[in-house]
Structure 1
C-alpha cells in the first residue's frame, strides 16, 4: 500500500531533529524546579532520581510527537505553519504584514549550534510563530528569504531559495559597522541604577539588625537573600541581555542589531518601519553624561516600564556623540544637537513646579520633538510620516488654566506628547501636525519653486506660539 502526499505536504519542512531534546530539557528544568526538597526527603535519592528520569523520558516523547507533527512551508507570499496532534493548528502568516524577523540563540541552542526564528507582524502583541529550532545557517537563510518576499530587502528570490543551505548570509551583523557598546560602560551604567545604589544601604541595615538582635533565624536569612536577589536581578538581567551590543547597516539599508551573552539575539529592522526614537537621561547617568535610546518599531508590542523583554533597544548606554551618530543613521537628516524646543506658557508652573524647564515641543523638517521629565529626562522623536492620529486632550485643571495636551500617535500605541500648551496654540499645533503627516505620506513630487504657502518650515520654527484668536 502506498500513500501519496499533496504538493503542500511534500514541500513542508521540519524543524531540526534535536528540537525535541531542547524542548524536553526546558520542560524538565521547570518540573524539577517545581519539586521541593520535601519531596526529595520523602522519596529518597534513588526514587527521586527515578521520578526525574521518568519525567524526562515523558517530556522528550511528548516533544518528539509535537516535532513530528510540526512543519513549515513558504507558499507564494505566505508562511504556513502546521502543528498539533489531537488538535491540529494551521497558521498562514501573510508576509506583506511582516515587520521584522529576529534570530535568537538561547544557551542550549548555542551549545548545539541551533537557533530560533521569531516573526514580528503588524498588530502582534508578541512574537508570531516562533520556529524552534533550526540550524544557524538555515535560520539565517529563511530569515533573508522571508524579508525578501515581504519586500523589505532587495534580495532576489528565485526557486533555489527554497533550499536553506543555498543562502550565503550569516547571522552576525555584516555590512557597515555603525556602533558597538563597551561592556565596561555597560557594567558601570548598571552600577549607577537605583537598585545598585541602595544595595549597600540594605546590606548595612541587615548587618545592623543582626548585631542588635544577636540572633538570626532561617526564615530571616532566606527572606533577606530573596530580597537581595530581587534587587540585583534586574541590573544583572540587563547586563546579560545587552552584552557585546553591536549596530550595523547592511547593503539593503536595514538596521542590524546583535547582542546578548546567555541568549544571543540578532535583529533585522527595516528603517521605514521605525515609528519613533526615545532618548532617556537617567538621573544617576547624568554624572557621566550618558543616555540610552529606545526604538519603536511597527509590529512590536509596547513594552511596559521596567520590562526588559521588549525588542526596542537601540543604544543601551552611550554619550551624546554616540547618540547623535545613531539617531542620524536611523533618521537620516535629523541632527540630535540641532533639535530645539519651545517651553510651555509660564502658568504651567502651577502644574509642574519642578519639571517645567525640562518640558518643550518643537516642529522640525522631518520629526516632531517633545521633551519632559523631572529626575529622568526624556526626549521623543516622531517622524511625521509615522503619525496615525493627532489628539487634543484637556483635563479639568487644564480647563481652569486654559491649557491642553496634544498627542501624536504612532503604530503600537506610542505617542509623542506636547504637554500643557496654551489652548489656541494646541489647536494650531494639532492642525499643523495633521497637515505635515498628510504631506509626508504623499509620493515624492517633482521639485518646484518654494511658495509662501509651503508647509516645509525652518528647523527652529515656532509659529504656533503666535496663534490668531477667532
Structure 2
C-alpha cells in the first residue's frame, strides 16, 4: 500500500521565521515612522509599547497556528502511475500529476536549510512554463528518495509500455512493481565530470558581471545629488557624477575624459570581482554523473542544486569560448533541452543548463562523445567574398562613428577626439577577418554543426532528427554577392528566441545543396531512429526477465515532434526568405504571415516534443475544494 507522507516537522519553525521577518520589519517601521514617537491611530489613540507587544504576540501565535495546520494538512503520495498532492488549510487543493509528465525533480538547499537537514523539491513537467508542484520542506533524505524513486518508476513504466506495444499480454508477465524495483534500483551512476579547485578558480577568473555598471549608473543617477554635496571637488567620482547628471564634464574635452579613466578601471575591476564571486559560489562542488536515461548534476556553495537533464529532451549541444579561453585551451559546454530547461533561472537566461562550466577542450570533446557520438568535425568556412563583406561593414561602422563625433564637436563646440575613431579602422579590419575565420559549418551522417562568433564563439551540434525546419535566408546584400544563410530550427528553448544553428554567408550554390542534404539526411535519421525504437521494443518483449536494462524508447515519437508538417513520415518545411518576401518552395506566404506562421510553428513544435502532453492519459488532474 502506498504510504501517505507529510512535510518535515522542522519546516514549521522555519516557515514561521521566514514570514516573521516581514512582520518584524513592519513593526519597526511603525515604531520609527513618527520620528521616534509612538504612533497615534484614529480609533485606538496613542499606541503604547505594551499594545504593540500584544499585537505582535497575537500575530506570531496566529502565524504558528496557520503554518502548523498547513504542514500537517499537506499530504503527498507516490503511486505506481502518479504523484498525488493534497494541500491547503481553508481551501483544499488536490493534484494528480502523472509520472510520465514529470520531466525533472530538482532539489535545492541553502546554508540554513542544509543545517536543518531540510530541502525544497520542485517537480517540473513537460509543457509547463513554471514549476508544477513544490514541496517546502522535506528532509534531505526524503528529497533524494523522491528523486531516485520517481526516476526508477518512470523507467519501469517506459519498459512496461514498450512490452505492451508488441503484445498486450506482456503486461501480465511483468511481475508487478516489486520485480522492477530491484533491477532499476541497482542501476549505478557513473561520474562524467568533476570541477576541481583549479578549474573552479579559472571559472571565477573568466567571469565578469556586466550588470554592475548598469546598477552603478542607476544608483548614482538616483542618489547623485546627495553624493555630489559630500564628495570632494577634486575627486574623480565627482566628475563621474557630473558626467551622468549632465554634459558639463564634456566641456573639459579629452582631459576630463582622462580624469575619469581611474573610475572606469575601478568599475571594470568591481564587475570582475562580483562576477568571479558569483561564478565560484554557483559552481562550487560541481559534479556531473550519468544515470539511466539522464545526466545528473550537483553544484552550489550557498545555494546547493541537485537536478537532472533527460537525454531524450536534449536538442542541441553548444561549446562556448572566448579569446581568453581559446588561448588557454578551455571551453564551456551547454546542453539545450526541449520545453523545460533545468537551471534556467540560474544560467543566465540561456534556456539551457551548463553541463560543464569550464574544462580543457579535450575533456569537453570526450564528454560530447558520451552524450552524442559525433564524428570528426571538419568545418567549412564561408567563401572569401564574405570576408570582403565584413571588411566593408567594419569600414562603414568606423566611418559613421567618426562622422558622428565630428558633427557633435562642430555643433556643440565640445572638443570630442573624433580622430580616435578613425584610428580604430585597423582594429575593425582585424575583427572582420577574425569573424570570417571563426565561421563555418559541417554536416555528417547524423549531425549538423555550425560555428559563429569571435568574442563569444559558439559551436552548435544538432542531431539531424531534432531539426524542425530548414530556413534559407538571403538578404539584398547577400544576393548581390551570391551568399545565403541556412538555419536549422529545433524545438529547443533557445531556438524560440532565434538562437538556432546557422550556416552564415555561405555561397548560394552551397546553400541549395546544404538544404537538400539536410532534408534527405533528416529523413534517413528519422527512419533509422524508427527502426531502432522498433528493435528495442521487440527485444524488450522477447526478454524473459521482468525488466530490460535498455534505455526506454522515446514515447514522444520524434517523427511528429520534430516535423514541420502533420505527415507521419516527418517531412520538414524548407523555406527561403528574402527581403522581397519571395519563396522558392511550396511555402509561399507574405512576409508578415510567414513570420507569424514560423513563430506559431516553433511554439507548436516545442509543445509536441514534450511527451504527448495533450493526451488525457498524461494530463494532470487539479481539483480545488
TM-score w.r.t. length of structure 2: 0.57
Alignment partner, residue 192 of structure 2 = 178
| 1:385 equivalent among 438, 461, 465 | 465
Change (3 A) 1:421 1:139: same
Change (3 A) 1:30 1:422: farther
The CA deviation at 1:188 is 3.1
Change (3 A) 1:146 1:395: farther
Structure 2 distance, partners of 1:178, 1:59, is 46
Alignment partner, residue 505 of structure 2 = 420
CA contact (8 A) 1:69 1:84 kept: yes
Structure 1 distance, partners of 2:436, 2:203, is 27
Tell me which moved more, 116-125 or 51-60: 51-60
Change (3 A) 1:158 1:110: farther
The CA deviation at 1:16 is 1.8
Alignment partner, residue 307 of structure 2 = 267
Structure 2 distance, partners of 1:429, 1:346, is 18
| 1:434 equivalent among 519, 524, 527 | 519
Deviations 1:325-371, CA, capped at 9 Å, x for gaps: 2112211x225xx3211112333235544211111111123321110
The CA deviation at 1:305 is 11
Structure with the higher fraction of residues in helix conformation? 2
Alignment partner, residue 453 of structure 1 = none
Tell me which moved more, 263-272 or 378-387: 263-272
SS in 2 for 1:388: strand
Q: Any residues of structure 2 matched to 1:402-421 within 5 Å, and which?
A: 402-413=482-493, 414=495, 415-421=500-506
CA contact (8 A) 2:316 2:492 kept: no
State how many pairs are aligned: 423
User: Does 2:16 align with 1:24?
Assistant: yes
CA contact (8 A) 2:289 2:296 kept: yes
User: Larger Cα Rg: Structure 1 or Structure 2?
Assistant: 2
| 1:321 equivalent among 362, 369, 378 | 362
Segments of 5+ residues of structure 2 without an aligned counterpart are: 39-48, 161-173, 217-229, 242-262, 392-431, 536-583, 586-625
Change (3 A) 1:235 1:419: same
User: Does 2:444 align with 1:364?
Assistant: yes
The CA deviation at 1:174 is 5.9
The CA deviation at 1:380 is 0.7
Alignment partner, residue 450 of structure 1 = none
The CA deviation at 1:51 is 7.8
Structure 1 distance, partners of 2:508, 2:524, is 25
Structure 1 distance, partners of 2:455, 2:369, is 26
Alignment partner, residue 324 of structure 2 = 284
Alignment partner, residue 457 of structure 1 = none
Deviations 1:61-120, CA, capped at 9 Å, x for gaps: 443343344332334422233333444433332322333222222223211112222223
User: Does 2:377 align with 1:297?
Assistant: no
The CA deviation at 1:57 is 5.1
Change (3 A) 1:169 1:376: same
| 2:6 equivalent among 9, 14, 23 | 14
Tell me which moved more, 377-386 or 181-190: 181-190
Structure 2 distance, partners of 1:157, 1:63, is 43
Structure 2 distance, partners of 1:425, 1:433, is 12
The CA deviation at 1:195 is 4.4
Structure 1 distance, partners of 2:337, 2:316, is 7
TM-score w.r.t. length of structure 1: 0.73
The CA deviation at 1:168 is 11
CA contact (8 A) 1:104 1:266 kept: yes
Change (3 A) 1:128 1:30: farther
Alignment partner, residue 459 of structure 1 = none
CA contact (8 A) 2:86 2:93 kept: yes
User: Does 2:247 align with 1:247?
Assistant: no
- Greater RCO (CA < 8 Å, at least 6 residues apart): 2
SS in 2 for 1:349: helix
Alignment partner, residue 190 of structure 1 = 204
Alignment partner, residue 454 of structure 1 = none
Alignment partner, residue 419 of structure 2 = none
User: Does 2:384 align with 1:343?
Assistant: no
| 2:353 equivalent among 280, 296, 312 | 312
Tell me which moved more, 238-247 or 89-98: 89-98
SS in 2 for 1:118: strand
CA contact (8 A) 2:203 2:357 kept: no
SS in 1 for 2:470: strand
Q: Any residues of structure 2 matched to 1:148-167 within 5 Å, and which?
A: 148-151=152-155
Alignment partner, residue 144 of structure 2 = 140
Change (3 A) 1:359 1:58: farther
SS in 1 for 2:152: helix
RMSD over aligned Cα atoms: 4.7
Deviations 1:36-56, CA, capped at 9 Å, x for gaps: 889657569988988877665
CA contact (8 A) 2:203 2:279 kept: no
SS in 2 for 1:268: strand
CA contact (8 A) 2:209 2:271 kept: no
Deviations 1:5-27, CA, capped at 9 Å, x for gaps: xx9xx964322222333333333
The CA deviation at 1:259 is 1.3
